[in-house]
Amino acid sequence: MIAESLSTELYELAEGPVWDPLGERLLWVDIPTGRIMEGRLRMGALEVACTHTLPGTVGAAVPGTDGSILVAARDGFAVVGLTGVTTGPRVLPEGVASRFNDGKCDPAGRFLAGSLALDGRTGEERLYRLESGGRVSVVAEGLTVSNGLGWSPDGRTMYHVDSRPGVVWAQPYDPETGRVGPRRAAITVTDGLPDGLSVDVEGNLWLAVWGAGQVRRLSPDGRLLDAVSLPVPKVSSAAFVGETLVVTTAGGGLFAVEVGVAGVPTTLWRPVPLGRP
């Protein structure tokens, strides 16, 4: 399968596409510029309807049930609402060269986002979760570049990418309690870096492979089922809009391809106060 260009604008590092079925909009970020875009899909093209800019980098943005946008900003969470931006307290440790990276809502509407090291450190980053009461908990440790997230159709398995050392982890997940079980390496990528991912309704993973110019459809046990080719090597993430896969890239625009299967429906963020660990 070959993806076709969906946008005319080029982005430094577009990431984290997510479809908001309530607002009928696509959200994505451009990490280095601190921008969050809202787009509308019309006649096979993507029109940017609104852009929000935060100071510093932004790792991910997800839609809320009230129409707001929750953002993993450089070192904490922020909410873009009708009356402006509300910034929460710092979440990442003080004095450490890290920033938030990719994030997504779990099947219960809690937001998870992980960090990455900016100075070459390895094995010191974490995956955080904004709990239903506003507290922030640590879901996983020992990471280097926390990246894409996804859940199986029944919500009982969480997939989580650590781009270095190139592993997609699979862990038992209880959507009701948030309890996470021991992780195992489900997929290892050696010809690029695994980045963002989405899961389809059949339980297969669509994994963006940075450096390979592909989004790969993989079974839960890592078998290659299909692949989407793009004209740029730095493919960062992918999201479903119906049976259309929308793909973000670095140094390029957004792309789209019909894949004949739908993704697991987007879970909207259930707004809570922006707390701290």
* Residue 125 vs residues 118, 160, 256: alpha-carbon distances, Å: 11, 13, 32
- Show the tokens assigned to 123: 């094995």
Annotated catalytic residue: which of 30, 102, 106, 195?
195
- End-to-end alpha carbon distance in the chain: 43
How far apart, in whole angstroms, are the C-alpha atoms of residue 200 and residue 243?
A: 9
List Cβ neighbours of 250 (8 Å cut-off, separation of 6 or more): 11, 12, 13, 14, 210, 232, 234, 236
* E-state strands within 43-145: 45-53, 58-63, 69-73, 76-81, 84-90, 98-105, 111-117, 125-130, 136-143
Q: Which residues pair with 168 in a beta bridge?
A: 161, 187
Q: Which residues pair with 4 in a beta bridge?
A: 256
Asked if 54 and 85 count as a contact pair (C-beta separation under 8 A), the reply is yes
Active site residue 195: yes
Active site residues: 195
